[in-house]
Structure 1
Amino acid sequence: MTSTLRRFWKYWLLAAVVIALFVRLGVWQLHRKAEKEALFAQVQAQVDARKSQPLSLAFTRDRMQDFDWAEGRCALEGRHAILLDNQLNEGRAGVRAFAPCAIDDTGRSVMIDFGWYPLAANRTMPRPILPTALDVRGVLMPPPSGGLVADQVQKGSGVTVVTRIDAQSLKQALGNTPVAPRVLRLDPALKVGGLRDFHVFPSTMPPEKHFAYAVQWFAMAAAILIITVLLSLRAKKP
């Protein structure tokens, strides 16, 4: 009987480690939920206030991770489209179309998010119809992610497919044009481009999903605890 209990304490130690891990993962998911809710609230506050800022604010380094409502007029030189690949919308595969828009005579450009376009089954890339100049308004926000630009899909096709949006890499791909570290998510009310909204993370899980995963981790921790207690009680029986 004593040897059985001694052996079972090892299982208690293992269970404690697993339970602690599951609880930690659940707490992390709750933190991620709170972070995303805070970001959504910040964006919604800008959308509700619509306090107009100049597009040049996109170049302000100390606001790279912030959200600001901006308005202005810019020129789409060459109307070259940057297509961000691997973008889902309600489970459908597609791309998000961006284009560099010159905001002043110095050639500085802000990447304008023209929205989501579906992909055909053969992965033929869409050709967004973009104007030569546009009065824009929307939310300045960090790009979806940072990384390297992929190769062009077709020479002279007028589009470049990328897996991530990165200011330095885009600067090289666009002929050394200075590109702002933030992008402008166009107001969905503007009749241009594809499907748009002000969702901060269009291709990642919403806060509700993080909460659901947290509940699952806590439930698994509780299940391990209950199973360990039941086995321990059974081991004590003569």
Structure 2
Amino acid sequence: MTPTLRRFWKYWLLAAVVMALFVRLGVWQLHRKAEKEALFAQVQAQIDARKAQPLAVAFAPDRMQAFDWAVGSCLLDGRHVVMLDNQLNDGQPGIRAFAPCAVDASGRSVMLDFGWYPLGPNRIMPKPLLPAQLEVQGLLMPPPSGGLVADQVQKGNGVTVVTRIDARSLKQALGNTPVAPRVMRLDPALKVGGKRDFHVFPTTMPPEKHFAYAVQWFAMAAAIFVITLLLSLRARKK
């Protein structure tokens, strides 16, 4: 074997390591695609079936990351309106309005998502008009992701502005009211609040994107193989 060919064994070893890395990344993207598809299917199944659960199921510790359709009657205190800051809708900045809904006599509350509101440059927070009592139905879900700003709580003008919906911090902000770890995205059919839909993953990469990235990683691995093969064949001819 000539020195040139011996040297190319080192190149093949390096190429094999790089190709293995690219293939691994591609397989990981395919796994993420499957996970997203299963998650989206779970949410859609709950919306389609609308198998009613009581509001109290929002407190179930084994369902903190699950999605459940729930219905019930609750009492709202219009003095406690929570605004989740840094929420985009079609590229427009705004907030999502939440309010605690007392589900039983003990005062345990579920945060109701009343929808998205635009926010102007003056950052004057809207004050949604909320009924004292409301028959609700909607999707219990983990809280939406916050913005890029660090966690903070601000009060003023009758509202509490937060950058993350967190049960522990909200309990203190709302006067030690026990708050469920999940929130309820109200059914868009209810004529109350701001702009709402059941697109519960607005910032989540869709499965199609994961598949596209997987194809790119596999294509890069194939390109490394072809380039190394051509270079080694050229060296052998010489």
Aligned equivalent of 1:130: 129
Q: Which amino acid aligns with 1:61?
A: P
> Are residues 177 and 219 of structure 1, via their aligned partners in 2, closer, same or farther at CA, if it must alter by over 3 Å?
same
Is residue 2:167 matched to residue 1:167? yes
Are the structure 2 counterparts of residues 219 and 138 from structure 1 closer, same or farther at C-alpha, using a change threshold of 3 Å?
same
| Change in CA separation of 1:56 and 1:113 when aligned onto 2, cut-off 3 Å | same
Q: Distance in 1 between matches of 2:202 and 2:80?
A: 23
The alpha-carbon deviation at position 56 of structure 1 amounts to: 0.7
* 2:49 alignment partner AA: A
User: Is the deviation greater in 214-223 or in 111-120?
Assistant: 111-120
How many Å separate the matches in 1 of 2:101 and 2:136?
10
* Number of the residue aligned with 2:153: 151
Displacement of 1:88: 3.1
Q: Secondary structure at the match of 2:9?
A: helix
- Aligned residue number for residue 206 of structure 2: 206
Give the alignment of 1:1-238 within 5 angstroms: 2-120=2-120, 122=121, 124=123, 126-131=125-130, 132-145=132-145, 149-152=151-154, 155-238=155-238
Q: What SS class does the counterpart of residue 62 from structure 1 fall into?
A: helix
What per-residue deviation string (whole Å, max 9, x for no partner) do you get for residues 156-193 of structure 1?
Answer: 22333333222112112222110001111111111222
Encode CA deviations 1:54-101: one digit per residue, 9 max, x unaligned.
101101111212211101122221343322233333343333222211
SS at match of 2:111: strand
TM-score by length of 2: 0.88
- Cα deviation for residue 104 of structure 1 reads 1.8
CA positional deviation for 1:123: 6.5
Equivalent pair of 2:86/2:93 in contact (CA under 8 Å):
yes
Within 2, Cα distance between the matches of 1:151 and 1:38? 34
CA contact (8 A) 1:8 1:232 kept: yes
In structure 2, what is the Cα distance between the partners aligned to 1:93 and 1:11?
51
Paired-residue identity, %: 77
Letter in 1 for 2:86: N
CA deviation string 1:99-155 (max 9, x = no partner): 2111122111101112223333x3715414131332210111122358984131xx4
Residue pair 2:84, 2:146 contacting (<8 A) in 1 also: no
TM-score (norm 1): 0.88
Q: Using a 3 Å threshold, how does the CA distance of structure 1 residues 126 and 17 change in structure 2: closer, same or farther? A: farther
Distance 1:56 1:135, change over 3 A: same
Cα separation, partners in 2 of 1:89 and 1:103, compared to 1, 3 Å: same
Name segments (4+ residues, structure 1) moved above 4 Å: 145-149
Structure 2 residues not aligned, in runs of 5+? none
- For the 8 Å contact 2:95–2:119, the answer to whether it is kept is yes
Question: Please, which moves more after superposition, 141-150 or 195-204?
Answer: 141-150
Counterpart AA for 1:42: Q
